């Protein structure tokens, strides 16, 4: 198989998955097989491309040329390949888990729900492999439109309002802020191609660089940067399978990937020209990290608590990306991987718990680990990773983030990252400990057969993934080094 064919499969397979799920909605077994198989094919293609990059290869697909020096194109490079492989592998677990959840909860219109999750995955993969700002923008709009039906899926007044807020916030930010920044960049550089070392280097003055950075960062509202973060809490009314896509595998990771691509491939060393804006934005995201982790503590609905916890994790990506250092970019990339693994595991565990016990309040989690040991073992491990406890994935990302902040001379930024980790421990640590240590409830299950393997196994495997970064942190540093090392 050629690299170009693998790239095409990775892009097309999730779309085909969504269409097949709708076409094969009955019987449910055939629908679920199509759903999981499509996710597996995507993951296999993405991991093949990891090998291509590791061997020094690449691949490029051009679909259209709408403007001079502007292509609708996809390319395989280290950052995109890593993100696509991570999200697609977790997507296999999510596909199996969502099949179990819709059966256990008798979710209405399950085929529609699964189809739009697959379309959201397709758009996220397209964002990861985007070769330039134009392709990124097109894929970003596609992701907004694919996730909108997931937020509105319940069909009640709350869901419709949340969907309107979601659509209005993300479209307004992307069209009102990101699009003008992209057009301005095209006017300055004469092209929109992502370039190692930054396409704006030597082409932008300090004033322009500062304005562009603010437009890009705030325009990427999917990264939940304050004040454009309200869509995240509003989307908590979506079904649990959709929440995994929104919080862990599509929307928030897409915002994080966008921040990495903008800082590494658009600005590069030109980020130093935007020192005023970058430091102001680091203050904003650092304070936002702490505020989100603190707000999470006040939320008693598990979906809302995990939403704000996820927000704090993504803002850590923004902090690392804005440090204008290779160590900061590496910390941000590790943070995306660690966050995706932990957040997906936590939300799948919450979905499993809701499906078999109908419990969604934090206070009702006490003792559930006694009757659902595998699910809550996964929940505890993922919580430890989100907090940043070694040897789990989140520990290495936060260590690099604090080290990079200190290396940039921003001790206060390192302190904010540390405070956010402490606040994350406060809102997740006692919750996980109480679930495992408290007395088991006598009436835990609403389903007499408890959690099926489709509900429990993905949680356990997702938790196990948080340990893998311990083994692969050094190889990942070498794999990602081309991001900040321009070709001679």
* DSSP string for residues in 365-432: GTTHHHHSHHHHHHHHHHHHHHHT-TTSHHHHHHHHHHHHHHHTT-HHHHHHHHHHHHHHHHHHHHHH
- Print burial letters for 12-23: b (CB count within 10 Å at least 16), e (below 16): ebbbbbbebbee
In this predicted structure, the answer to whether residue 321 has a pLDDT above a threshold of 60 is yes
> Comparing 483 with 261, which gets the higher pLDDT?
261
User: What pLDDT is stored for residue 455 in this prediction?
Assistant: 85
State the average pLDDT for the chain: 91
Q: Which of 95, 108, 377 is nearest to 245 (CA)?
A: 95
Identify the residue whose tokens are 């929109």. 192
pLDDT band at 103 (very low <50, low <70, confident <90, very high): confident
Band (pLDDT 50/70/90 cuts) for residue 444 is low
Nearest to 316 by CA among 419, 411, 234: 419
- Helix 251-261 crosses helix 133-151 at what angle (to 10 degrees)? 160
Quote the pLDDT of residue 488.
Answer: 38
> d(Cα 10, Cα 242) in Å, to the nearest integer?
21
Place of tokens 């939940």: 224
Give the range with max mean pLDDT: 1-5, 311-315, 363-367.
Answer: 311-315
| CA pair distance 79, 263, nearest whole angstrom | 12
pLDDT of residue 264: 93
User: Rounded to an integer, what distance in angstroms lies between the CA atom of residue 223 and that of residue 127?
Assistant: 14
Average pLDDT, integer, range 181-202: 91
pLDDT per position as a tens digit, 133-149: 999 999 999 999 999 99
Q: Please give the average per-residue pLDDT across 474-479, as a whole number.
A: 83
pLDDT digit string, tens, across residues 5-31: 999 999 999 999 999 999 988 888 899
Task: Please give the pLDDT value at position 355.
Answer: 87
pLDDT tens-digit profile of 65-100? 888 888 999 999 999 999 999 999 999 999 999 999
* Interatomic CA distance for residues 225 and 213, integer angstroms: 13
Calculated CA dihedral for residues 326, 328, 333, 335, nearest 10 degrees? 160
CA 482, CA 448: separation in Å to the nearest integer?
53
Per-residue pLDDT for 171 more than 50?
yes
Secondary structure, 3-state, 135-176: HHHHHHHHHHHHHHHHHCCCCCHHHHHHHHHHHHHHHHHHHH
Cβ–Cβ under 8 Å, residues 237 and 162: yes
DSSP code for 301? B
Average pLDDT over residues 238-260: 94
pLDDT tens for 369-419 read 888 899 999 999 999 999 998 888 888 889 889 999 988 889 999 999 999
Residue 487 is predicted with a pLDDT of 45
What's the token pair of residue 83?
Answer: 């993100």
Backbone angles phi, psi at 196, to 5 degrees: -60, 130
**H or E element: which one contains 275?**
helix 275-298
pLDDT at residue 107, rounded to an integer: 84
What is the C-alpha end-to-end distance of the chain, expressed in Å? 30
SS3 61: strand
Q: Which of 225-239, 277-291, 319-333, 460-474 has the lowest mean pLDDT?
A: 460-474
Please tell me the pTM assigned to this model.
Answer: 0.94
The CA–CA distances, whole Å, from 140 to 106, 130, 134, 143, 314 equal 31, 10, 10, 5, 17
Whether pLDDT at 473 is above 80: no
Nearest CA-CA partner of 312 in 339, 281, 280: 339
Percent of the chain at pLDDT > 90 equals: 69
Pick from 172-186, 350-364, 447-461: least confident: 447-461
Instruction: Check whether 485 has a pLDDT greater than 70.
Output: no
CA 342 to CA 333: how far, in whole Å?
15
Closest residue by Cα to residue 170 from 206, 132, 220, 210: 220
Query: In the chain, what percentage of residues exceed pLDDT 70?
Result: 98
Find, among 292, 286, 306, the residue nearest to 408 by Cα.
Answer: 286
Token digits for 374?
A: 């595998």
Tokens 């102001």 sit at which residue? 280
Please list, in sequence order, all residues whose beta carbon lies within 8 angstroms of the beta carbon of residue 183, skipping any fewer than 6 positions away: none
Whether residue 445 has pLDDT greater than 80: no
How would residue 439 be classed by pLDDT, with cut points 50, 70 and 90? confident
81's tokens: 């390949």
Can you tell me the mean pLDDT for 223-252? Answer: 91
By residue count, the chain amounts to 488
pLDDT at 450: 55
The pLDDT value recorded for residue 446 is 60
């Amino acid at each position: 198989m050629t690299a170009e064919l693998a790239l095409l499969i990775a892009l097309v397979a999730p779309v085909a998955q969504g269409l097949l799920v709708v076409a094969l909605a009955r019987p449910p077994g055939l629908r679920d097989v199509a759903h999981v198989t499509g996710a597996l094919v995507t993951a296999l293609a993405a991991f093949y491309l990891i090998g291509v990059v590791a061997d020094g290869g690449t691949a490029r697909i051009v679909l259209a040329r709408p403007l001079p020096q502007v292509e609708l194109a996809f390319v395989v490079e280290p950052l995109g390949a890593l993100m696509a492989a991570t999200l697609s592998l977790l997507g296999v677990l999510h596909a199996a888990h969502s099949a179990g959840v819709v059966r256990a909860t008798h979710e209405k219109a399950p085929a529609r729900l699964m189809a739009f999750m697959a379309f959201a995955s397709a758009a996220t993969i397209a964002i990861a492999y985007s070769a330039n700002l134009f392709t990124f923008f097109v894929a970003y709009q596609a992701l907004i439109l694919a996730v909108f039906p997931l937020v509105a899926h319940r069909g009640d007044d709350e869901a419709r309002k949340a969907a309107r807020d979601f659509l209005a916030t993300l479209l307004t930010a992307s069209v009102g802020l990101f699009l003008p920044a992209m057009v301005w960049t095209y006017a300055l550089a004469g092209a929109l191609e992502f370039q190692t070392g930054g396409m704006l280097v030597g082409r932008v003055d300090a004033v322009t660089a500062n304005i562009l950075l603010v437009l890009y960062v705030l325009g990427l509202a999917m990264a939940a940067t304050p004040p454009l973060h309200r869509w995240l809490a509003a989307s908590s009314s979506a079904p649990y399978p959709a929440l995994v896509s929104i919080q862990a595998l599509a929307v928030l990771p897409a915002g994080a990937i966008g921040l990495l691509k903008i800082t590494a491939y658009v600005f590069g060393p030109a980020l130093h020209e935007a020192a005023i804006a970058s430091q102001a934005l680091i203050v904003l995201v650092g304070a936002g990290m702490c505020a989100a982790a603190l707000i999470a503590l006040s939320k008693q609905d598990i979906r809302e608590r995990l939403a704000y916890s996820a927000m704090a994790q993504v803002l850590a990506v923004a902090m690392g990306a804005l440090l204008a250092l290779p160590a900061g970019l590496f910390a941000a990339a590790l943070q995306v991987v660690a966050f995706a693994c932990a957040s997906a595991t936590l939300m799948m565990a919450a979905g499993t718990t809701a499906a078999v016990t109908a419990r969604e309040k934090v206070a009702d989690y006490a003792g559930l680990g006694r009757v659902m040991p595998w699910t809550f073992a996964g929940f505890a491990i993922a919580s430890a990773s989100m907090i940043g406890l070694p040897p789990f994935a989140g520990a290495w990302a936060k260590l690099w983030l604090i080290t990079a902040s200190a290396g940039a001379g921003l001790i206060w930024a390192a302190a904010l990252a540390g405070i956010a980790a402490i606040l994350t421990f406060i809102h997740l640590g006692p919750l996980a400990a109480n679930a495992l240590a408290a007395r088991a409830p006598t009436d835990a299950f609403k389903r007499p057969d408890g959690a099926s393997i489709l509900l429990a196994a993905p949680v356990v495997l997702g938790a196990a993934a948080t340990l893998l970064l311990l083994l692969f942190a050094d190889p990942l540093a070498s794999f990602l080094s081309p991001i900040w090392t321009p070709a001679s």
